[in-house]
Structures are given as structure tokens and as C-alpha cells.
Amino acid sequence: MKKNQLRLIKQILAGTLAGLSLSCAANQDSPIGSVENFDSFSLNKAVENNVKASLIEGQEKKYGKALKLVFEPREESTIELPTPAQGYWNWEYAGDLNLALDVTNPGSQSFQFWLTLMDASGRKQERSAVINAGQSARFYALLTGRVANAQTGMRETPPAWQTSEEKLAWRSGDRDFDFTKVTKIIFKAYAQFETNTLIVDNLELRVNPAQDPEYLVGIVDKFGQAAKKNYPTKIHSEKQLKAAADAELASLANAKQPEDRSRFGGWSKGPKLEGTGYFRTAKVDGRWWMVDPEGYLFFSSAIANVRMANLETITGYDFNDASVRKIDPEELTPEDSRDIIPVGKKSLNSRFLASPLRREMFEWLPPYDHELGEHYGYRRTVHQGVLEQGEVYSFYKANLERRYGQSSPNSYIKIWRDVTLDRMVDWGFTSFGNWIDPMFYDNQRMPFFANGWIIGDFKVIYSGQDYWSPLPDVYDPEFKRRAHLTIKQIAREVKNTPWCVGVFVDNEKGWGSMKNDRAHFGAVYYALSRTADESPAKKQFTQLLTKKYGDIATLNQAWGTKIDSWSSFATGITMDKLNDASRADFSMLYADYAETYFRIVSSELKRALPNHMYMGVRIAAEWGMPTEVVAAAKKYSDVLSFNNYREGMHPDTWEFLKDLDFPTIIGEYHIGSTSDTDFYHPGLVIAADQTDRAKMYENYMNSVIDNPYMVGAHWFQYIDDPVTGRAYDGENYNVGWVSNTDIPYQPMVDAAKRVNKSLYKRRSKIAPIQ
């Protein structure tokens, strides 16, 4: 079928579906219309948590009342709207729906707000958006229908119809949400450092307009940019791209660090301690620091993920030759950390179109024999997306070749390496962050952090928080073997260089959270439900409990259970509710698990890399920080590491560092925007535009620098995601310091120079730990 015929059919279908939806709206008893206009709103029935609500006159007289929400400066602030008389909203409807609302920000700074919906079964959907200072806008959240639930391989898509309204970006939740029983509508804000106000009005359930049948067609140009958007950094020709590269090369020719830096990026104007030849930590004048190899105090201001891995996007093609999907069980690098692996020539003839939806997104893809055809590769597994595997293309690599040319194989990569180093120096950073390409390990200009993942065919434990992967069963001997192999490989790459600050191992594991027993001890619940024969963790937990209680009757008395015997216990048990005794035992079991994990990793690192610090596992603060895991991390790590996707280090969350009194680093944070970029999803923390993004970056970094326990923070990541989503999981965020055409965001560069130039002076003036 020809492409124009396919588009004609799409247009006919879109028009037919739109007509059906509008017909239903006119002829059936439906929920379409006002959900809440606040004219008769019951303030006393709203559930407020760190939010003060009041009713005011609407922005226009015809609107009547509006809801004014004053969010207190807390880590989390929420307000839950009262439900109708029956206890829920029934939004059952045959057509495609969206929820719209008017929002005003009367304050002097941008404000990111969240909209959370919950159903009667506890399922949840969360979306978020930002509204600029002094602005009013109408927002909408896609709820049901093809556009809302389409699997596109992108975290967020372009608007499906022409509108001046703002789309709430999808964050997380259950796609099988029950819209016939919506029990909660919640407005929320996170990590507020000042009081912020939001005015909300006119919540309305609406039928989606007829969609543009080509809203996903031709959305990316030959440079990998959004073809249908205009924005300041957009490149329009190869000549313009080359001119930008030449101008930057000239400006970077004399790049140099701030004057107060040592050879390794430490504070040359500050106290000088004993130099051990490698990085370490020390508490000086009541503040934690890292110390560089020469003995100068060191704080790691850095950008993470400076590498070529995970920059590709799915093209829509696959290969029938199964050999392209072969995975060696002894591989040490996970799929999302691999650079492009080309498809062999013998497999190219088996290429076929597996997803027309994905292929139609691109205005241009080169033939394999094109000079830019070498930037194709293959992704053998996909975390989430349209395809389970498939061909990928790196527009970023193609643009590097366009910028710098190719005088010899991969010569543009060599230039990119030098330009990247010059940028880091010129922008004032003291090191690279995590996930740095090993090509930088011998650079001798910028300190770096090494990293590795422990992957393999060991048994696993499902904690209920298994977004990236389940937890390893650390009692399985295969886990220890794989840890040994991974860290041995890291040591081969690092080569004992003093420029390596330390080593991160693993990332954002699903440890659980402290919100309730099930979330906290999910790994223990799961292991106890298994048999001792199939689960090494269950076998270990059974032995620990047998040693403590002796006979099963004593355990039953403590736990309030009726387990027949230890043999029955070994075959698997389930616990509905914990009492004080069982909760304490679950904590003991989980502490043993966490200690075993960190002890294995730490011992392997000490054996293979005795001169380098263990930087921990980069615990996702947003997901939860179980006390047992944090305690074990402190016991075996040299520096604790957390990923913190908030607007800064809020005291409500980070006050516990006082009790730990231990050097701590932020492994990931970022801020993004869509208003003046080619992106449809801003990222996890949202700014109004690039200027606001730079301001928020400064505020975040200052909150870290001013914390006496913090020894660094690493922004994630160096390069923007592909507009059509990175191949592994579809993230298409504006979170880079450079675009996909390798153009730096100047407001961010200027902010980095300000922050990094004053870093050590500011750090030296903070109050010491009491």
C-alpha cells in the first residue's frame, strides 16, 4: 500500500471516530462537563497536608469562585478534593476523554505542580506540569482512548490536535485505571523551599477533539530534531552546524579551570592535608569533604552520563536473523550501557519493517551504504516500547560526523572527546560524574568515577518496586561470582589511575520505601513466600529465624501465627499483617540481606581496587531509603550516594544526614523544559524555559554545596535524549547540557560558570556540623 493511501485511510478513520465520540456526547447520559467549578465547594471536606486552601473570586466574573492553594515550604504538600455524595466520580464514557483545568501562578517564580488520580482499587495515575511566574493557562490531561494509551516508544508525544492549551506530562501510574470509580483528585508539590500559591478553577471532563491523523508522522528531521517545532538552538543546515562547531572550537582554545584549582580539581587556596596519591574523604572544620591525591579539599561538581551509550532511538525496523539478538550469558555490560553494536552484513538482507508507526516518525533515515549509515545499530532487548528489540539509529553520532567530518575512522569521536574535556574545564566542573565513557579514563585533565553493573543469571527477589529489575538474591553464589567478574573488569579499565575518584556499583535498585510494611519489607515478604529449595534467601531467612526461636511454637507465639512446623515454614508462608515482633524480625532479615549485598561488593572492590573509594549504589531517594539499606551502605561504603530528583536538598528529607554524619553525594538530578526546546516531555523536574532551568540548577547546586555532609552532586545527563525516545525505555527528556546536534544550552553554561567559580569559597563559609 502506498504511503499516501495509508494516510487517506487514517484521515477517514480519524474523522469517523471523532464523529462517533461527538454523537455519543450528544445522545447519552454521560459525565461530560464540569467536575468541579468551586462555586459551591466545601473547604472543610478537603484533606489538606501542608496546604492552606481558600475560595476567591475567579479570574473572570462568569467563573464565580476559584480555589486558592498556598503550598507551604515542605518536602511534600498535598490537597485532596472532596468526592461527590456517592464517594467517587464515574467517568465511564464511550469516547476519548481528557480532564481540563485553569491554573494561575500569581507568584514570582515558576511552580511545578502534580495532578494525581486514584481509583477505588488503589490504582494511581500521576501527571505534572510547570506554570511560569505571573502566568495563567488551561491545562489538560489525557485520560482514555487511543491517544492516551498508545504505545509509541516515547514517554510523551506531540499534541494530537491543534491547541493553545498545555498538556500535563505523564509521570507514572497504572494504565488499567478504573475511570468508573475515581476516588481521589489530588494536587501536590514537592521540595518547596518557599511558600508558593496556585489558583485552580474549572475542572472539566471533555471529549477529545478529532485528532490529527499524522500527529506522529514526520516529527523528526534529518538532524534528529523536532521537525514541526521552532526553537532557539535549532539547526537548519549542515553549513550552520559546521559553523557552530568551528566557532566553539575557537572559543575553547584557551579553556582553563578557575584559579583556585589544584591539578586534580581540588581547592588549591584552602587547607592542605596529607596527600595519599588517591582520593579519600575527611572531615575538616566540621564539614565533610573529599580530598584529592595531593591533599587538597575536593568537591565533585559534575555531569554524569558523558558517553555514547543509550543515545539511539528505535527506527521501526528489525531483522529476521536471530543471531543479531544473541546475548552471551557472560556479558558484563547491560543493554542500556552499551555503545552501538552494528548489524553484520550477512544479516542486513533479513531487515523488515516491524513498526510502521515508528518508521513514519522520521522524515529521513539514511541507507546503510550512505556515509552516515554507520550510525545504525541494534538493541537486543528493550525495557519498554513499541518493539521488544530492533534496529536503532544515533542522530547524535551522525551530527558529530557532520560537525567535525571524518578524516579517518571515528576521527570525529576523537575531536568530540577533546571538545568535551575542554567544555568541562571551561565550564568549571571539578570532575566527570557517573557513567563516563571509558575513553576518558586516561584523560589526565578531569577526575572521573568508574562504574559497573552486577548482571547475570542469578536468582532474584521481587520487592514490589521492580521498575528497572528485581533485586538480586545475594545468597545465591552466582551473584558473588558475577560481582567478582564485574569489578575485575572495572579494575582492568581503571588501571589504578589516581584520576579515578571512586567506583559506583549498580543503580536505583528497588529497595523499598518506609511508607508501610508491605513497601518497606517487600523483599522479605517475597522471599518468605518461596520455598527454601528454590530461593537461597528463603533458606537463609529460615536459618536465621530457626536460630533465634528454636521451635516453631515460640515463633508462632511471637508472631501470632499458626504455622505447623519449620518444614511448613520452609515451603512458603504469607503474612497479611505484622505485629511488633514480626516487624522487628522482618527488619532483622532485611538488614542481613542488605549487609550481605554491600559486604560482597565492598570486599570485591577492596581486592581489585584497594586504592579507590566505594561510592555506594546510588539509592533513589524518591523511591525510598529503607533504614536497613542506608545503615548497611554506610557500614561498607566510603561515600553514601543518592539520586534526588527534586528542586534541591530539602531539610524534611535530608535531616537524617545529621544522625548518619557521613560523606554523601548526589548521583543524579536534573531539570528540563519544553517551552523553548524540541521536546514533548521536559523531564522529572520541570522549568518554565532555559533561563528558568539555569536558575533552578543554581538553586539546586547551592543547596548541596551548603550542606556540610554533601561532597558532590552529578547532573544527569550530558546529552539530551532523542526526541523520539531513547531506545531502551522511551525517555525523551530535555535534560542535557547539549542538544542532539551538540549545541550547548548557553543559559546552563553561564550558570555552571557562576556556580563552579564560587564553589569552594561558598563551601568554606557554610556552618560546621554541630
Q: Are residues 63 and 180 in the same domain?
A: yes
pTM, to two decimals: 0.94
SS3 per-residue string spanning 19-53: HHHHHHHHHCCCCCEEEECCCCCCHHHCEEECEEE
Domain assignment present for 745 = no
Let me know whether 188 and 319 are in one domain: no
Q: Write out the residue range of the structural domain in which residue 148 sits.
A: 3-207
| Residue 264 located in a structural domain | no
pLDDT at 8: 36
Looking at the domain assignment, is residue 758 inside a domain? no
Q: Is 323 inside a domain boundary?
A: yes
Domain-embedded: residue 221: no
- Please give the C-alpha separations between residue 309 and each of 335, 666, 722, 745, in angstroms, as whole numbers: 9, 22, 12, 21
CA pair distance 122, 652, nearest whole angstrom: 26
Q: What is the mean pLDDT of each run of 10 residues along the chain (770 residues)?
A: 40 36 40 91 94 84 82 97 95 91 97 98 97 96 92 95 95 94 97 96 95 96 96 96 96 93 97 97 96 98 96 98 95 92 95 98 98 97 95 98 95 97 98 96 97 97 94 98 98 98 97 95 98 97 97 97 96 95 98 98 98 98 95 98 97 96 98 95 97 98 98 98 97 97 98 98 89
pLDDT attached to residue 6: 39
- Helix (H) or strand (E) run with residue 250 in it: helix 238-251
Distance between CA atoms of residues 276 and 293, nearest Å = 6
**675 in Cβ contact with 689 (< 8 Å):** yes
Domain end (from 334, 368, 393): 393
- Of 207, 222, 242, the position where a domain reaches its end is 207
The total of structural domains in the chain comes to 2
Query: Nearest CA to 460 among 534, 383, 558, 351?
Result: 534
78 is a domain residue: yes
Element (H, E) at 127: strand 124-131
Domain co-membership, 46 together with 182: yes
Angle (CA) 535 504 304, round 5°: 130
Q: Say which DSSP state 265 is in.
A: S
Q: Select from 166, 184, 207 the last residue of a domain.
A: 207
Domain contains 104: yes
CATH of the domain at 150: 2.60.120.430
Q: Does one domain contain both 200 and 322?
A: no
Task: Please indicate, yes or no, whether residues 50 and 193 belong to a single structural domain of this protein.
Answer: yes
pLDDT at 23: 31
Would 730 be classed as within a structural domain?
no
Residue 12: predicted pLDDT: 35
* Secondary structure (3-state) at 173: strand
Q: Which three cell numbers stand for residue 719?
A: 546529552
Residue tagged 475560595 (cell numbers): 55
pLDDT at 27: 33
CA–CA gap between residue 738 and residue 746 (Å, rounded): 9
